[in-house]
Amino acid sequence: IRDSLAAIVGSSLTSDLTPPVIYFATDNTTTDATTGVTTIVAPGEALVVVDYGVPLTDYFLSPLTATAAKGTSDGRYRFAGASDSRDGDVSNSLTAKQSRDGTGAAICSLRLVEQALCAPGQYAFRFTAEDDAGNTAGRTLIVRMVERAVTAFSITLQTAHLTLAAAEAEGAVLADPTSSASRAVRTGVAAKVSASLPSAGISLADV
């Protein structure tokens, strides 16, 4: 009986109850070269902004096996990984599903997000990882699909009448990007464009 109790107590003391940690490429992480355990130094924003119609070229958002952690043949890297204090890298256990939770968001997949084919809007995806002991962890990634607006502007910069010689001289000054006159014109154009955006229903952040 005593030996049985000791075995039970010893088993409970050494059992693995710590869940793995899911990390994203936006996190500041460090990885132990010996154990392979990745620690999040500072969590990053779990938000990815994708331009509609412009496929991602930096990362795979869909969970991939651990062998793809350092990149793939086309140069893209895995966005999400998972690490466990006892088992090391458990990225191959990662799964991801869209989380709608009554938000009314359209249905989309991470594969379609990577191809920038989802309708503009915001989507949530729940990543889940599991270690060898069956402990699980979850983390949510928000994907914002945005469609940039294209607007044409007509701006009058100068109405003064110049002689041909004066116009050529001024043109030479404006053609020099380092001249104060050239910088003043560029600043003025940028200010006029920025001031015109709200009336067109466009946010400066979307330009």
Condensed to tens digits (0 to 9), the pLDDT of residues 171-198 reads: 666 667 777 776 776 777 777 777 776 7
Count of residues for the chain? Answer: 207
What's the rounded mean pLDDT across residues 105-112? 85
Determine the pLDDT at residue 138: 93
Instruction: Single out the residue of 97, 98, 117, 108 nearest to residue 50, CA to CA.
Output: 117
Averaged pLDDT score across all residues of the chain: 76
Instruction: Single out the residue of 108, 139, 102 nearest to residue 25, CA to CA.
Output: 139
Three-state SS at 200: helix
Report in angstroms the alpha-carbon separations of 158 from 27, 44, 125, 126, 185. Answer: 49, 47, 52, 55, 10
Confidence of residue 128 (pLDDT cuts 50, 70, 90): very high
* Contact between residue 39 and residue 30 where contact means Cβ atoms under 8 Å apart: yes
Report in angstroms the alpha-carbon separations of 112 from 108, 115, 157, 174. Answer: 7, 5, 44, 46
Pairing of strands 38-42, 28-31: antiparallel
What's the rounded mean pLDDT across residues 131-142? 93
Edge-to-edge strand ranges of the sheet holding 47-51:
47-51, 136-146, 121-130, 95-98
Instruction: Single out the residue of 68, 87, 88 nearest to residue 79, CA to CA.
Output: 68
Instruction: Say which residue the tokens 């945005």 belong to.
Output: 146
Determine the pLDDT at residue 67: 47
CA distance 203 to 194: 9
Condensed to tens digits (0 to 9), the pLDDT of residues 32-52 reads: 888 778 888 877 778 999 999
pTM beyond 0.85: no
Backbone angles phi, psi at 89, to 5 degrees: -75, 120
Confidence of residue 161 (pLDDT cuts 50, 70, 90): low
